[in-house]
Chain A
């Protein structure tokens, strides 16, 4: 059979990557076989799906998707489980956090609450590995006539052209002659002379059938690949925006709480002022005047999210200032800086941890809303809001183009809020 995998994920460096991952997986299985056997048992449920709708579901295990599944399952599962064990170890070392995360000694209802953190860890690992995992280039459109709005699990014939872009990569052309689709399937697998069979494809290179696991959007770009890259960008903006806003909120809250007096009053009025404009309006106004590159977006999102953190920090500091151990420290002659560093700072951290996680979800939501409205990250760079915004009007016919990004967005945001809820419960229980 002449057709060869020309999948991007299988050239040399990625082969080494996958080999390394497999080795780690073997070691992991040897070390923690119980976890692995549990996940294998759950994987055994897939035959049910296959049996129920064979023709559709077998498309998910098409030959060209096997490397994708391999990479996704090994790397993501490994990453999630190892980080999870790490967190449990840390939680047990610092006794106060044992209720925050449950290992296998907990009851089932407790351990289901681990799910949001699993989801977020999986998202982080997926985002880190997006260039490796993505079966297609997120920006390549192919031949629009045939790749526009393909259903999920539909196949297209991929032909390698000879043009290469400036990085030495290879441009792929996707085309799918719908009227000959069934014939293509048979012919490609067995006919070595396929490249001459259609006069349009005379040329060099091999051709192969590729499956679009989640379909394509209006411009023929693979939804799955775009989702992976979009998750990357959303998480990046989320991290950076949250760090920025928490930093600003800490500084303002600390200055306000420590100083007291007119400084406190002034800063709190400024915070109230910023709080009185709905965040989205403020962000839109700032983006209108300052621009919408990614860096500016991060700065704007950080500059409009610090208020709740500032109020929280200030409240904690105000209540801390009156506590006995601070008075004792002051009587013992510790300097103000030492008191702040050793006593106030660590006691403010737990509350801000909850605020940080909540801030994360609201920053991701704000960025998605902005891109959805068309004023955030511009196409063709994929981001979750972008993808929804481009295709929501076609929701009647091409539902996959907007439902999948929306689903991933909801899962990420609900998981972050679940983690925040867990942290809050953990704090109140251990208090």
Chain B
């Protein structure tokens, strides 16, 4: 037992260390991207008619005259302490701007993941339960098509149908204009109304993918010997399902979801722009259009951090669910 927990701690330690190494690598990559740009960053910040001494002064302030290695170490030091630079377009530190917008993306992403997993697993289970019927065929082939639909096509259709034609749901932003006057519950309900379309845009293709994946996984688990053994012992079918089949089949789904955090964020960029949702994705696009380089780099850094942490959580969750991982590693 103690060796088991020792192995578990070892596993956690190894995964955390590799995550930290990846984070440092990420910071290095961001630094390299920033310095890959041709041209002088200072000249973009000041008027071309300003005297050369102003440019020189700015370069000295930003430390651009120092050797690259020293700049890199300064950048690492700043990044670790949370100082990511100053945003040109928002006139505030980048960290402040990010912290303002990040919770909105978090709301969107977490709700989307939750809905996706719930409906995906449900649909996958239905496909297996009524296998070879028309429902199974629809979920399998229809799921393939829906899964590969581009995010902004789904968003466009949802926008056209639910927002413009039917007028049921609002088409942009997080709150209505008069949300300050509503009660707390009213504001919550308003948020949910605004949340529905963006979340559906991300969840519908995701749920289709998870449904197909869970279906394959559950079918594979059902053929395993331990399930046959449990049946032969006379255990009831729903007990077998809950304790043997479901955890084994869910495990790969959770890994996939953890690994898909990156794709989710990337899809969220387009969704956020389409629905004018004030999140990190839309912030990146606005920063890009305004050529606000520190903010672009900050957004990229934070998205990488989220993905690395997501992968780490997925690994740890997998370890928690599947005891074999704890023992064999």
Contact = CB atoms under 8 A, between A and B. Distances in A.
Interface of A: 269-270, 272-282, 284-290, 361, 365, 368-369, 372-375, 388, 392, 395-396, 399, 402-403, 406-407, 409-410, 413-414, 417-418, 421
Contacts of A276: 22, 26, 262, 304, 307-308, 311
A421 B274 CA distance: 29
B270 A290 contact: no
Contacts of A368: 150, 152
Contact of A392 (B38, B150, B274): B274
Interface string B154-168: 001101100111000
Contact of A417 (B148, B303, B304): B148
A406 B307 contact: no
B149 interface: yes
A284 B156 contact: no
B153 A406 contact: yes
Q: Identify the interface centre among A278, A361, A399: most chain B CB within 10 Å of its CB.
A: A278
Nearest to A407: B153
B265 to A, nearest CB: 4
B285 A410 contact: no
Q: Identify the interface centre among B263, B266, B284, B311: most chain A CB within 10 Å of its CB.
A: B266
Contacts of B26: 273, 276-277
B269 interface: yes
Interface string B11-42: 00000000001100110011001101110000
Given A272-B22, A290-B37, A281 B303 contact: yes
A409 B153 contact: yes
Contacts, number: 136
A214 to B, nearest CB: 16
A277 B149 contact: no
16 contacts: A276-B262, A276-B311, A277-B26, A280-B269, A281-B300, A285-B30, A373-B270, A373-B285, A374-B289, A375-B288, A396-B163, A407-B153, A409-B153, A410-B150, A418-B145, A418-B148
Q: Identify the interface centre among B22, B145, B164, B300: most chain A CB within 10 Å of its CB.
A: B300
B115 interface: no
B293 A414 contact: no
Contacts of B281: 280
A281 B284 contact: yes
Interface residues of B, number: 49
Per CB-CB distance, the 6 closest pairs between chain A and chain B, nearest first, are A396-B164, A280-B266, A417-B148, A289-B37, A278-B266, A277-B304
Given A273-B26, A277-B26, A279-B262, A406 B304 contact: no
B273 interface: yes
Contacts of A403: 156, 160
Given A277-B26, A280-B265, 5 more contacts: A269-B25, A279-B263, A281-B284, A407-B153, A414-B145
Contact of B148 (A280, A361, A392): A361
Contact of B265 (A278, A395, A418): A278
A16 to B, nearest CB: 39
B299 interface: yes
A274 B303 CA distance: 12
B296 interface: yes
A399 B269 CA distance: 22
Contact of B284 (A274, A284, A413): A284
Q: Identify the interface centre among A270, A275, A361, A413: most chain B CB within 10 Å of its CB.
A: A275
Q: Identify the interface centre among B33, B153, B270, B273: most chain A CB within 10 Å of its CB.
A: B153
Contact of A277 (B274, B285, B300): B300
A279 B297 CA distance: 14
A404 to B, nearest CB: 11
A372 B155 CA distance: 13
A373 B36 contact: no
Given A282-B300, A285-B296, A403-B160, A273 B29 contact: yes
Nearest to A274: B29
B288 A369 contact: no
A370 to B, nearest CB: 10
A218 B304 CA distance: 38
A287 B287 CA distance: 12
Contacts of A278: 262-263, 265-266, 269, 303-304, 307
Contact of B25 (A273, A373, A414, A418): A273
B144 interface: yes
Contact of A413 (B37, B150, B303): B150
B293 A395 contact: no
Interface string B74-100: 000000000000000000000000000
B220 interface: no
Contact of B149 (A275, A286, A375, A413): A413
B269 A421 contact: no
Q: Identify the interface centre among B34, B37, B150, B156: most chain A CB within 10 Å of its CB.
A: B150
B291 A369 contact: no
Contacts of A418: 144-145, 148
A410 B153 contact: yes
B152 A285 contact: no
A399 B159 CA distance: 11
A178 B25 CA distance: 62
Contacts of B163: 396
Interface string B289-329: 10101001101100110011001000000000000000000
Contacts of A372: 152, 270, 273
Given A276-B311, A374-B289, A375-B285, A289 B152 contact: no
A284 B153 contact: no
Nearest to A272: B22
A215 B133 CA distance: 42
A409 B307 CA distance: 28
Contacts of B285: 284, 373-375
Contacts of B300: 277, 281-282, 284-285
Contacts of B288: 284, 287-288, 373, 375
Nearest to A374: B289
A83 to B, nearest CB: 23
A429 to B, nearest CB: 16
Contacts of B296: 284-285, 288
B62 to A, nearest CB: 16
Nearest to A112: B141
Contact of A373 (B21, B273, B291): B273
Contacts of A279: 262-263, 266
Given A273-B29, A288-B296, A388 B266 contact: no
B133 to A, nearest CB: 16
A399 B160 contact: yes
B156 A395 contact: yes
A275 B311 CA distance: 11
A277 B262 contact: yes
